Every structure is written in C-alpha cells, then in structure tokens.
Amino acid sequence: MHPLDLLNQEIIQCRKCPRLVEWREEVARVKRKAYRDQDYWGKPVPGFGDPKARVLVVGLAPGAHGSNRTGRQFTGDASGGFLFPALYRAGFANQPGAESRTDGMILRGMYMTASGRCAPPDNKPTPAELTTCQPYLKREIEILQPKVIVCLGKIAFDGISKIFSVRGLRFSHGADYLIHPSSLILHPLHLICSYHPSQQNTLTGKLTVEMFDEVWRMARELANKDG
C-alpha cells in the first residue's frame, strides 16, 4: 500500500479533537435539508490526488455540508465550484465539476489537502486544533516531496511557514517564496500564496477568475521548471 494511503487511513480514524468530533458528527446526523437523503461522510477528510504530484494544494478545513458531506477535499461546495474549473483550465483536473467521491475526478500532477481535516464550527478551527492536525500535513509533504505548494488563504500559509520554520514571509495573493532544502524537503520548494476561493472572496471580486488562473499558471510553470 502506498504511504499516502496508509496515512489517509490514519487520518480518517482520528478523534484527537473532541470539539471537532462532536461538531462533524452532529452535522452529519442532522444534515442540511437539501441533502437529507444523502449519507454524510462525517469523519476527517483525507487528502487526494496524484501520488507523484509536484504541486501540493493546501486549503483551510472541510466545509460542514461540503467535504464533511462528500468526504473529499473541496467537493460539493461553492469553494470547489470555483476551484475545480480553474484546475481543469490549467490542466490539473480531468473535469471541471466535483460533486462526490465517485464522480470520476482525477487530479494530474497535483495532490490536495488541508490544514485541518475536520469541519469546524463557524469554519474556524482553533490554533490548538490546527497544531494537532499539523503532523499529518508535514508527513504528506515528506512523502510527496512537492516542488510547489499553493496555500489557499492565510491560515494555510501560516501553517506551512510554521512547518518549514520560516519567518518574515508575508501573505500576499500571487506571492512566490523559495524554501531551501532541509531534512523535510530534499530540493528547493516554491511556496505560492492565493486567496481562498470562498464566496466571501469570489462574490466580492477580491478573487477573480483571472487572478486565480494566474496562480495555477505559475504553479504549473514552476513545477515543470528544471525537469
């Protein structure tokens, strides 16, 4: 079994944060009216994508009725509705829509994960909960050895900065920082910042289609650089 599959089995069984366990399971039990006939995932959401990925995408945490319902990162909610078409246009995804774990979505050259694996109340995991979850993300990086990490939002960016023990980096959409090789990553790594594709950013124009497309163009170019 691939190391990522073993790690995902461990992630799915995690119950380390009582507040998050209670919330994710309550949401899965009560359900939203529009999804009352569906079986909610209601567990930590594992990463998914290409095990040979050069690009790692890091989000915040599952949405209560998105990933917490479908069991796959960014699947079945408005953020994914903005993200996956962009990945399709950039050639990272085989289709523009993502509605369920069985919809045929395939990521090419990309792996998708999050800073927190459980849906948090009000979409706000606590610093302690993010710290508890951080070893999973660190192990994904260690296994994948990506050339590029795209952080969707400041919380993801801060978490990655903490993992690599780098200070003084400022979150700014479109910024590209070079991380030097270390015991965790064996080659130089590009860290790209992007606004999160949440509706509070996409509906207000803070994040446009053109801005987002440029992020993925940059990620592809850097991932393919020097072989």
Alpha carbon distance 109, 19 (integer Å): 35
Among 226, 209, 219, which Cα is nearest to 108's? 219
State mean pLDDT over 145-150: 98
Report whether pLDDT(50) > 80.
Answer: yes
Report whether pLDDT(227) > 60.
Answer: no
State mean pLDDT over 178-194: 96
Report pLDDT for 225.
86
Report whether pLDDT(226) > 70.
Answer: no
Report pLDDT for 182.
93
Query: Domain segments of the chain: what residues?
Result: 3-224
Report whether pLDDT(44) > 90.
Answer: yes
Which string of b and e fits 105-119 if b means at least 16 CB within 10 Å? bebebbbbbbbbbbb
3-class secondary-structure state, position 36: coil
DSSP-assigned beta bridge partners for residue 107: 93
Report whether pLDDT(155) > 60.
Answer: yes
Mean pLDDT in the chain?
96
Which residue reads 């962009």 in tokens?
86
Look at 92 and 1; give whichever has higher pLDDT.
Answer: 92
- Give the contacts of 209 (CB within 8 A, at least 6 positions apart): 86
Give pLDDT tens digits for 119-142.
Answer: 999 999 999 999 999 999 999 999
| DSSP per-residue string spanning 170-212 | ---TT-EEEEPP-SS-SS-EEEEEE----HHHHTTTSS-HHHH
State mean pLDDT over 15-30: 97
Give pLDDT tens digits for 53-68.
Answer: 999 999 999 999 999 9
CATH T-level assignment (fold) for domain 3-224: Uracil-DNA Glycosylase, subunit E (3.40.470)
